[in-house]
Amino acid sequence: MIAIIDYGMGNLGSVKKAFDHLKYDSVITSDPAIIKAASGVVLPGVGAFGAAVENLQVKKLDVAVREVAEAGKPLLGICLGMQLLMDGSDECRDLWANEDPLPGLGIIPGRVKRFPDSGLKVPQIGWNKLEDVTGSLLSEGDYVYLVHSYYCDPVDKSDAAAYVTYGIKYCAAFERGNIFATQFHPEKSGEAGLQILSKFARRTAR
């Protein structure tokens, strides 16, 4: 069973429908016990970084996600869920400047940054092509759907599994051991996205 974490912010229904379409069992839940018992976990997300961190903490889901990661179970972050796996975000710029900034989950070292002014519209909304793909869940040249104003900048560039260019070339997915994440929405990325979710689901059955 794949647990899709409900912390009050996310494309929960769309992600579940995608797994249903692929014939994989999944459940939307905010119960830490169910999350920790699942064979794989998805951390989705749409919205503001600060509010998401607060919601996770209030529901004790931040602890559950870290325990899943440490246990070696497959964990997939999607969009804001990818950003939450990092150390912190410039979306909380004022807090980050303090000695005690509002952190992310700190599972993948790095920082979430806002797109620089390049003349392009922010947020980036629409389809774009994956580049320099190295991640096992991804296929070279896939077009995927993105909606975001911030991007992940991992400390260890070997964590990056694919890039996208939008004014700048940035990390659009990362992979480290049992940890996977996509800035794009695989549940909205057509056949390419379904293939990614299917590959992830197959890993949960190992």
Q: Is the pLDDT of residue 77 over 80?
A: yes
The domain that holds 118 is classified in CATH as 3.40.50.880
Q: How many domains does the chain have?
A: 1
| Residues annotated as part of the active site | 79, 185, 187
Q: Given pLDDT bands bounded at 50, 70 and 90, which one contains residue 206?
A: low
Those residues whose C-beta lies under 8 Å from the C-beta of residue 161, and which sit 6 or more positions away, are 133, 134, 135, 136, 137, 138, 173, 174, 175, 180
Supply the pTM of this predicted model: 0.94
What's the mean pLDDT in 116-123? 91
Q: Is the pLDDT of residue 113 over 70?
A: yes
Domain interval for residue 186? 2-204
27 vs 10, more confident = 27
User: What does the pLDDT read at residue 99?
Assistant: 47
